[in-house]
Structure formats: structure tokens, C-alpha cells
Amino acid sequence: MQLIAIGSSTGGTEALSAILTQLRPPLPGIVIVQHIPPMFSRLLAERLNTECVLAIKEGATGDIVRPGHVYIAPGNKHMTVHRQGSLLVLDCRPGEPVHSCCPSVDVLFDSVASEVGNHALGVILTGMGKDGAAGLLRMRKQGSPTLGQDEASSIVYGMPKAAYDCGAVERQLPLASMPAAITQIART
């Protein structure tokens, strides 16, 4: 496994904290789109960095995705991953909203599907709307394992439901089970 990609929205900051505080190296790099306004994405990354063993920062163009590091998309910028030789490098830039969202989970997941293929794990968490469903389905069609948060543990069962309904979610889990599942899949 080369990469873990996570998308979340409403209720996602708490869900991300619940997952990331439980993760331990060795793990591949983690890229996250959380629907969040500018500045708050940096504050979220800084807060999580103090709570977690993994190194967490707001993503920036040119960042090399390193194992055991977490990159949160900056508010008002789409974040994508690109191959440079054997490295995965981030690109963060303003763009048209997708599903009324910038950053968009679909934009990130689409880049992961095309650049990382079946060497990535896709995770969709609580959130309103359907952002991420189509991108997660592309990841699954590339052979990536995919996880979705279940209805009972979601603050808003919109994004995970849309992904589940279109066949993008391979396994649906309660939030409390996500860290162990992510770790197990990422280390196989």
C-alpha cells in the first residue's frame, strides 16, 4: 500500500481526530480532503498534529508524500497527487467547485485512482452531499480497497451513503472500527 486517501465533511473533524489519534507507524502517507474554510484547514492540521503520533500538516504544492505523514487539503484549494519518478507529490491549487466544494474529495480520489491505481486505500467518512462517491468508485474499479463510515456512527450519512449506494464502498464500518481496519489493510 502506497497511500491512504480520506474524504470527509460535516462531522469530519471529529471523525478524523477519532481515527488519526489511534493510528501508529508504519503506515503509508495519508492525504485528506475535509470540507473546511481557508485558515481553518491549517488550524485543524496544527491541532491534530499535537494530538497524534503521525506528523500532520496542511498540504502544499510540492510536498512529497512521506510514510507516516498526513496532509490535509487547504481550504479553497483542490489537492491532487502526482507521480514524480517513485515519489508522490502534492499539487494544491484553486479551482472551480465540484459538488459545490473546494477542496473536493472527488478531485483528490480521481487523482489517486489515476496515479496510484490499486496501491491506495480509499476511505469516506461522515458528510453532507455526494462528494467523493464517484472518485471512490473509480478507486475501487482500479482495485483499491475502500471503506465507508456506517450510518449509525455518522453525524450526516450523506457522503458515505452516496458512495455505498453506487457500489464504491467495499466495507462499511462504524467509526470506532476504522483505525484497526485502516492499519490492517495498509500493512498488507
Q: Any idea which residues carry the catalytic annotation?
A: 9, 35, 131
Ramachandran angles phi, psi of 96, nearest 5°: -65, 140
Ramachandran angles phi, psi of 82, nearest 5°: -140, 145
Contact 154, 177 (CB under 8 A): no
